[in-house]
A and B are shown apart, each in its own frame.
Chain A
Amino acid sequence: MKFSWKKLWQVFITFFKIGAFTFGGGYAMIPLIQREAVENRKWVTDEDILDIVTIAESTPGPVAINSATFVGYRAAGFLGSVAGTLGVVLPSFIIILLISYVLREFQEIVAVQYAFAGIRAGVLALIIKALWGMYKKCKKNLVSYIVMAAAFVLAAFVKLSVLPLLAGCAVFGLVTTLIMERKVQK
């Protein structure tokens, strides 16, 4: 791939804009990426965008980072992936850094404490709604119900650590998938 500063700068600034204007993160970013990276810049194709969503769903980490790294790589190689990732991260980084100082200054004010008491109840609802959305999207079969219930009980009541729990569920999913596919083959 031909190295060019101009292209790196374009990748950086494109993802900087995407990072600065997507609220809520995640999949809210996909339409923006599509408009900028597919229609305007022609770095990737519509099919690539679909691939990115697939990859993002089966790799760890935020969708935003996954897609910035992937598109940046396709557009300008390794340095492109650095530029894209840096671009998408930088706006949040700067904004949150400023906000964390402001939060510290203002959290002693009584009105702010009242506001946050109300907000916490609202956030609880937002998380429940997100949970419902994920539940609806998830494939439902015996294995997934068992894993859901086991993960919930083990985390909420047995207080098992999250990382070993996730690793265990991954292995369980792998084993059941392999067994079921073997049955289908026979």
Chain B
Amino acid sequence: MIFLELFWTFFKIGAFTFGGGYAMLPLIQAEVTSKGWISEESIVNFVAVSESTPGPFAVNMATYVGSEMGGVFGVGGGIFGAFCATLGVVLPSFVIILIVAQCFQKFQSSRVIRGCMSGLKPAVIGLIASAVISIGTTVFIPNGFMWEIFTQVRTYIFLGIAALALVLGFKKLHPIIIICISAVLGIAAGYLGFL
């Protein structure tokens, strides 16, 4: 039952995403792309879409994956799939915050929570670093490693785009502008026959 699976998968993702935003990527890779639901390429494409649309990354991602997976059952299936996945990703935070709102003082001074967080925060950083490796693989060597990639123009074009985007990012240019520039460069390189 795909709808139940969507709900449960995103419930787990919602319950284990600490730090918000891209902290979700390693979990998406583990729970969504590894099941073959959606290709890693589509997920990376969607990160760009999510950056360019309002709303939290987690909700955007859940709605997108739900709609894609349910979409095979028609428009209604797409909407219901999106609903199941979004409900799943939202529910853990919702319940936990309701509990915390009741006993905030105790929560704040809890050594157990502080201790767990001191392990979780650096873990998320390590996990995102591993997501970067895997996304780098998708960008540069989508068909597996071959020595030819070092002689292919496209490798250097992608390296150039990534380097430019990184510089612009650290210059505090808005992500949407960076995405637009990357898109234009991609289209130009494509029509010049480099891709």
Min C-beta distance of A180 to chain B, whole Å = 9
Interface of A, secondary structure class, is: helix
Complexed CA–CA distance, A90 and B16 (Å): 22
Specify the chain A residue showing the minimal Cβ separation from B17.
Answer: A60
Cross-interface CB contact of B64 among A66, A81, A100, A127, cutoff 8 Å = A100
Which residues 25-72 of B sit at the A interface, judged by CB distance below 8 A?
25-27, 29-31, 41, 44-60, 63-64, 67-68, 71
Complexed CA–CA distance, A51 and B164 (Å): 38
Which of chain A's residues have a CB closer than 8 A to the CB of B77?
A: none
**Which stretch of A5-13, A33-41, A116-124 is in the interface?**
A116-124
Which of chain A's residues have a CB closer than 8 A to the CB of B44?
A: 120, 123-124
Interface size on A, residues (CB 8 A): 96
Complexed CA–CA distance, A103 and B184 (Å): 18
Q: Are B78 and A100 in contact (CB under 8 A)?
A: yes
Min C-beta distance of B86 to chain A, whole Å = 6
Cross-interface CB contact of A177 among B45, B115, B178, cutoff 8 Å = B115
Which of chain B's residues have a CB closer than 8 A to the CB of A172?
A: 119
Q: Is B111 an interface residue (CB 8 A)?
A: yes
Q: Are A61 and B117 in contact (CB under 8 A)?
A: no
Q: Are B182 and A155 in contact (CB under 8 A)?
A: no
Complexed CA–CA distance, A121 and B187 (Å): 13
Chain A, 37-49, contact with B by CB distance < 8 Å: what is the 0/1 string?
A: 0000000000000
Q: Are B130 and A97 in contact (CB under 8 A)?
A: no
Q: Are A97 and B93 in contact (CB under 8 A)?
A: no
Known: A92-B53, A162-B26. Is A60-B92 also a contact (CB below 8 A)? yes
Cross-interface CB contact of A116 among B15, B163, B186, cutoff 8 Å = B186
Q: Are A21 and B54 in contact (CB under 8 A)?
A: yes
Q: Are A55 and B130 in contact (CB under 8 A)?
A: no
Specify the chain B residue showing the minimal Cβ separation from A151.
Answer: B126
Q: Are A131 and B128 in contact (CB under 8 A)?
A: yes
Could you say which of A59, A92, A148 has the most chain B C-beta atoms within 10 Å of its C-beta? A92
Complexed CA–CA distance, A175 and B111 (Å): 11
Chain A, 137-154, contact with B by CB distance < 8 Å: what is the 0/1 string?
A: 011000111011111110
Chain B, 117-130, contact with A by CB distance < 8 Å: what is the 0/1 string?
A: 11111111111111
Which of chain B's residues have a CB closer than 8 A to the CB of A184?
A: none
Q: Are A155 and B16 in contact (CB under 8 A)?
A: no
Cross-interface CB contact of A62 among B30, B93, B128, B189, cutoff 8 Å = B93
Min C-beta distance of B56 to chain A, whole Å = 4
Min C-beta distance of B178 to chain A, whole Å = 6
Min C-beta distance of B174 to chain A, whole Å = 8
Cross-interface CB contact of B48 among A59, A114, A122, A161, cutoff 8 Å = A122
Complexed CA–CA distance, A26 and B30 (Å): 22
Complexed CA–CA distance, A93 and B59 (Å): 7
Which of chain B's residues have a CB closer than 8 A to the CB of A135?
A: 125
Q: Are A150 and B186 in contact (CB under 8 A)?
A: no
Q: Interface residues, chain A, CB within 8 Å of chain B?
A: 19-26, 29, 51, 54-66, 69-70, 73-74, 78, 81, 85, 88-89, 91-93, 95-97, 99-101, 103-104, 110-111, 113-131, 134-135, 138-139, 143-145, 147-153, 155-156, 161-163, 165-166, 169-178, 181
A selection of 13 A-B contacts at a CB cut-off of 8 Å is A19-B56, A22-B55, A25-B55, A61-B20, A61-B94, A70-B97, A81-B97, A97-B82, A115-B184, A118-B187, A151-B123, A165-B123, A170-B119
